[in-house]
Amino acid sequence: MHIYCRQDILLNSINTVLKACSTKTTLPILECILLKASNNKLTLVGNNLELGIESTIDAEVQEEGSIALEAKIFSEIIRKMSGEVIEISSNNNFMTAITTEKSKFQIAGQSGKDFPALPNVEKLNSCKIDQLTLKEMIRQTIFSVAQDETRPILTGEMLQIKDNNLNMVSVDGYRISYRKTPLSIENRDVEVVIPGKTLAEVSKILSAEEDEPVTIYFEDKHVLFDLGESKVVSRLLEGEFLKYEQVFSSDYETKILVDKKHFLMSIERAALISREGKKNPIKIEIDGDKMIITSNTELGTAREELDVVLEGKELVIAFNPRYLIDALKTIDDEEIYIHFISSLTPCIIKPKEGDHYKYLILPIRVNA
């Protein structure tokens, strides 16, 4: 293999595929980045057997071929090289020379033929969405993916196509996050669970530009995100996901309309008193047109008061402040509705208009 390419473009591509390279593995080849050169294109691949990422860039290819290079040393060499154009060549013994005008490295590589191929995902079942929209949907749901491995299915998010909407749902046992967006083209119904780690990495690669699409392809065991120059393949999680539709009840005994920003800031201030002990809740009292938020711990006390519009009964309820803060930070609306049934049942946060997001949060039982 013998190629020339630009250092900045190559480094950007390396940073993309590094996210799928193993750091601890019994298979040393998985700690490598695969370089494949042909047709004046250089394709880089990282693959840890659960997540695979491929990135293709323009290159001047003098000799086609492939080589697997240890990801950490290769990325550091390219990062620290000065000079716009980098020359990479490898011989039959897999020794690889990396050269610029004033620098030259030689590192040992491995045969590209030994690198595990990414799963081939058939492009039969798919949907297309703006990269920015998907990036936002991940941001607005990823925080409530379960970190506890005792229920592996909940360490992922459900991605569902239903009634020509794309729905994303995450559950960690204490809260549920739901986000939906309409799809422009009619698609077959789909329901898969994608590992949270995969979505976190996909989110970093997705563009913040509105016009750039991503196509998502679904199979029984894998999902493929096709971003054009980059592709991400991930295994899917197996198991029964929560039937979330049954949990989001439309019933309520108490319903309030509240300014989201003021509510968030009030909880954050009250939480300052409870931050030392994770189990210290904040108490919310809805009293007529007022909401009173209090925190009482060994550190001291805090009291916040803000205006609300109340429909239904007055109520006293307590929450882990972190769960409220996580949800409120992802909402861009100025005002939100919150539905309550009782002090022992979950609250549901909804938009003032529409139904494009819902957040369910379990309360904490407190002594009177």
Q: Are 241 and 257 found together in one domain?
A: no
**What number is the average pLDDT over the span 294-313?**
94
Range of the domain at 41: 2-114
Confidence of residue 210 (pLDDT cuts 50, 70, 90): confident
In a domain, 151, yes or no: yes
| CA 300 to chain CA centroid, nearest Å | 37
| Residue 277 banded pLDDT, cuts 50, 70, 90 | low
Give yes or no: residues 104 and 129 share one domain. Answer: no
Q: Is residue 56 over pLDDT 80?
A: yes
Number of separate domains in the chain: 3
Q: What CATH number should be reported for the domain holding residue 203?
A: 3.10.150.10
Residues listed for the chain: 368
Task: Read off the pLDDT of each residue in 245-274 and give the average, rounded to a whole number.
Answer: 94
Q: What six digits make up the tokens of 276?
A: 């030392």
Calculate the average pLDDT of the chain: 94
Residues 254 and 239 in one domain: no
Q: What confidence tier does 275 reach under pLDDT thresholds 50, 70, 90? A: low
Which pLDDT tens digit goes with each residue over 91-109? 999 999 999 988 999 999 9
Predicted confidence (pLDDT) at residue 324 exceeds the cutoff of 70 = yes
What is the rounded distance in angstroms from the CA atom of residue 227 to the CA atom of residue 73?
27
Q: Is residue 368 part of a domain?
A: no
On the question of pLDDT at 265 being above 90, the answer is yes
Tell me if 139 is assigned to some domain. yes
Kindly write down the DSSP assignment for every residue of 154-216, as one continuous string. Answer: GGEEEEEEETTEEEEEEE-SSEEEEEEEE-SS----EEEEEEHHHHHHHHHHS-S-TT-EEEE
Residue 82 confidence (pLDDT) above 90: no
Mean pLDDT of 300-317: 96
- My answer on whether 24 and 103 are in the same domain is yes
Does an H or E element contain 300, and which?
Answer: strand 300-312
145 part of a folded domain: yes
Could you tell me if residue 328 is inside a domain? yes
Q: For residue 64, how many other CB atoms are within 10 A of its CB?
A: 13
pLDDT tens digits for 189-209? 999 999 999 999 999 999 888
pLDDT band for position 278 (50/70/90)? low
**Same domain membership, residue 290 and residue 324:** yes
Percent of the chain with pLDDT over 90: 85
